[in-house]
Chain A
Amino acid sequence: NAGVTQTPKFQVLKTGQSMTLQCAQDMNHEYMSWYRQDPGMGLRLIHYSVGAGITDQGEVPNGYNVSRSTTEDFPLRLLSAAPSQTSVYFCASSLTGANTEAFFGQGTRLTVV
């Protein structure tokens, strides 16, 4: 029972490079989201999706793109990496949204130099 799978676990990028963080879930959850976690702060929502083909912005969407072509996958794209995007990124899914239990991936530690 895989749950939520995130790849890669670690990544170092140079300023200006682009990359995609992968997220997949096998629980047939409608709701998926991406957060970033910075020291001393709560998790902040980047983007979320309430179902295939539907995405919306969270609290800190600038510099990130998402798409949701299938129920299972919700990739996060960094368009042009900046040092301010150095963070730990978490993908999460839940059955229908914030009022149901959330399941998290293992996280991606991203460093932008």
Chain B
Amino acid sequence: KQEVTQIPAALSVPEGENLVLNCSFTDSAIYNLQWFRQDPGKGLTSLLLIQSSQREQTSGRLNASLDKSSGRSTLYIAASQPGDSATYLCAVGGGNYQLIWGAGTKLIIKP
């Protein structure tokens, strides 16, 4: 059974720092991995989707990498801003239409 883990559960950093969020999964037989952002009281917003054949995806200040063999993905945020404060979730897509989710990392960027 696929399990997805995100460590740490919470992270607080000063504005301007570059940071890395981690996501690990137990079964390397995945279709894709997605990173989402969740703001309090709001829905989830898709940030990046990495297909299993890809190693990384970039969008603006965000870069997500995927290493299937080691069961790991990282989300790199460059030059963090207070507006980046949110909970970041990763989800792994398998072959049965389902996404398996991590519990998220709550990120706080201090001005």
Residues of A within 8 A of B (CB): 4, 6, 31, 33, 35, 40-45, 48, 50, 56, 58-59, 90, 92, 97-107
Query: Would B44 and A42 count as touching, CB distance under 8 A?
Result: no
Given contacts A42-B89, A42-B103, A101-B49, contact A48 B97 (CB under 8 A): yes
**A to B contact number (C-beta, < 8 Å):** 68
Question: Main SS of the interface on chain B?
Answer: strand
How many Å from the CB of A109 to the closest CB on chain B?
8
Chain B positions within 8 Å of A, measured between CB atoms, are 4, 9, 31-32, 34, 36, 41-46, 49, 51, 89, 91, 93-94, 96-104
Counting chain B CB atoms within 10 Å of each CB, the highest count among A40, A41, A92, A97 belongs to A97
Please tell me if the beta carbons of A99 and B32 are within 8 angstroms of each other in the complex: yes
Set A43, A99, A107: member contacting B42, Cβ < 8 A: A107
CA–CA, A48 to B93, complex, Å? 14
Residues in A neighbouring B93, C-beta threshold 8 A: 97-99
